[in-house]
Structure 1
Amino acid sequence: MGQKMKNAPVYFTIAQVRHNPVLRLGSYAPDIQDRMRKAGYPDFKKGIAMAFTLAPQLGDAPQTQPPVVEQVERLMFFSTDSTRGFIVEQNALSFHTTEYETFEALADEFMRGLAIVHECVTLAHSERIGLRYLDAVVPPGGETGLAEYLAPGVLGLSSRLPEDVTVSHSFSETHIQTAKCAVLARTIIQSGPLGFPMDLQPIGVKVADRFREINGVHAIVDTDASIEGRHPFNLELIKSQLQVLRDGVGIAFDATVTPIAVSAWNS
């Protein structure tokens, strides 16, 4: 786990902690920005995100009230080369990176940023820990090579169709519950430039050149692990939960790809 593949397929990773709301987030911005700048994230931006809140439902009556739309302040801190960044919101902290080295390096950097925010605002509790990986699977053999790199269960109908039929898009999704976390494993097969799932649009980080050059049949292995539950805010507990999530991601990823793929990424 501590060794990086020579040609790792990871092109985007995000770790996130949801915590108690900090409604006056803007008042802490100068302190957070100063610490983030010294930690290697000098590019600072403010943004606004839209949040939707559903009105409470009474009894068995159908939902009649429209959702309430709120503007939520967002503080964004990026490295000079735009390969990694933190997004601080009123109830969440996220770390994004497009230059994945090892899980240990990712976890250490995430915890470093989380500690900075905690020092400034004094968080009370955590509510959800999440870890998500996007891997680009591009076998040398093109579309036919996907069968050598991916498990049959995520290939869709492509292996059963006539040779003169082209698959433009295939999607598989599996929900997994391990003893300690939930994992959502998706595989998207498509043709064209490499992109991102519709529910995940990264902000401010730049994808590595070798992934931006992808334009053809490829698969995106999207593995999202999470732990729900409110706990008093504890950095050591959160770091241990990240390890649990990484183990969960590994279970799903190992079931999705083949030993041939792993060997190719290591060579």
Structure 2
Amino acid sequence: MTTATLGTWRKPPLAYVVAELVISPHYSIGSAIPAIQDALRREYPRTVEAMEIHVEATAAPTPSPAWRLLSADQTRGVQIGAKSISLHATSYTDSETFMALWSHVLNALGSADLQPFVERAGIRYVDLIVPSEGRSPREYLAPPLQGMPTPPEADMQHCMWISSYQIEGVTVQTRTATPTPAGAVWPPNLNALPLQKPAVLLAAEEAIQSGQRIGFIDTDCQAEVQTIFDPADLASVYSKLHEKMSKTFDTLISDLAKEEWK
């Protein structure tokens, strides 16, 4: 059983992190894969060919090739496709480490001289709520997010809150589920790579199997970029995104959550 975790908290709820660039369709990106492989091979020695399914509002879903470069311990993966490039992780030391890993990927893309047009930059954190004995998932959210009042005898089956706001050019979208629908762990639209499971995910799966309720906090920060790819400029964009992510998460969780997790 892995004990991998994300971050430095005493009992971190963070289960999955994604940094992503959405690019204007770059259909010759496959020709640059060998150079990117060479630049990243030490950290991501395994390559898996895959297919991405793109869903457009005005057309049928279309598949396109993608490449996954995976770390030897399978706790991190880089996915490269014609419309997006992303780094996925289920284990790292702290946020600075993750940003350094992402910067390394961006520099590898830069050295391959792809020069894609970047539409949007984003970072997404998915935290799992596994309540301690005698607690309910909703108690880990800030009081305004704990849901509608119910009769004492009611058994809440599923409760989700969704919000979106903009601050200093960043769009922040949050989703909370306390509890999640029966049997569900991840948010419904998370396209997770088959990475090593962190400790909190194993705990969540065990809780579900024993009939307990869990929850999630899904935070997604995005910024429009609309410029030619430049690793240095993007580093500052992601620094800003992470700042908004961190501040948002602190507003979403309760004092109980901070006491148990930090």
TM-score of the two chains, using structure 2 as the length reference: 0.87
Q: Distance in 2 between matches of 1:154 and 1:181?
A: 22
When residues 106 and 99 of structure 1 are mapped into structure 2, their CA distance, relative to the original with a 3 A threshold, is same
Q: Over residues 70-124 of structure 1, what are the superposed CA-to-partner deviations in whole Å (9 max), with x where a residue is unaligned? A: 3211010111111111000112210000114322111110110121122114314
Question: Residue in 2 aligned with 1:136?
Answer: 128
How many residues matched? 249
Q: Over residues 187-225 of structure 1, what are the superposed CA-to-partner deviations in whole Å (9 max), with x where a residue is unaligned? A: 012266562111112122122144223222222000000
Question: Residue in 2 aligned with 1:46?
Answer: 49
Q: Distance in 1 between matches of 2:231 and 2:106?
A: 8
Q: Over residues 150-171 of structure 1, what are the superposed CA-to-partner deviations in whole Å (9 max), with x where a residue is unaligned? A: 11222222xx223322111110
Q: Distance in 2 between matches of 1:143 and 1:226?
A: 33
Larger strand percent? 1
Q: Is the 8 A contact 1:19 1:123 kept in 2?
A: no
Q: Over residues 121-177 of structure 1, what are the superposed CA-to-partner deviations in whole Å (9 max), with x where a residue is unaligned? A: 431432101010011122314444632x211222222xx223322111110011121
> Mapping of 1:145-184 within 5 angstroms?
146-147=138-139, 149-157=140-148, 160-184=149-173
SS in 2 for 1:190: coil
Runs of at least 5 residues in structure 2 that lack an aligned partner in the other structure: 1-6
- Is 2:199 the partner of 1:203? no
Larger CA Rg, structure 1 vs 2: 1
Deviating above 6 A after TM superposition, structure 1's stretches of 4 or more consecutive aligned residues are none
Q: Is the 8 A contact 1:43 1:77 kept in 2?
A: yes
Q: Distance in 2 between matches of 1:180 and 1:194?
A: 33
Q: Is the 8 A contact 2:128 2:200 kept in 1?
A: no
Return the match for 1:125 from 105, 108, 117.
117
Question: Residue in 1 aligned with 2:11?
Answer: 7
Alignment-mate amino acid for residue 225 of structure 1:
C
Question: Residue in 2 aligned with 1:19?
Answer: 23
The sequence identity of aligned pairs, in percent, is: 22
TM-score of the two chains, using structure 1 as the length reference: 0.85
Q: Distance in 2 between matches of 1:77 and 1:233?
A: 20
CA RMSD of aligned residues (A): 2.0
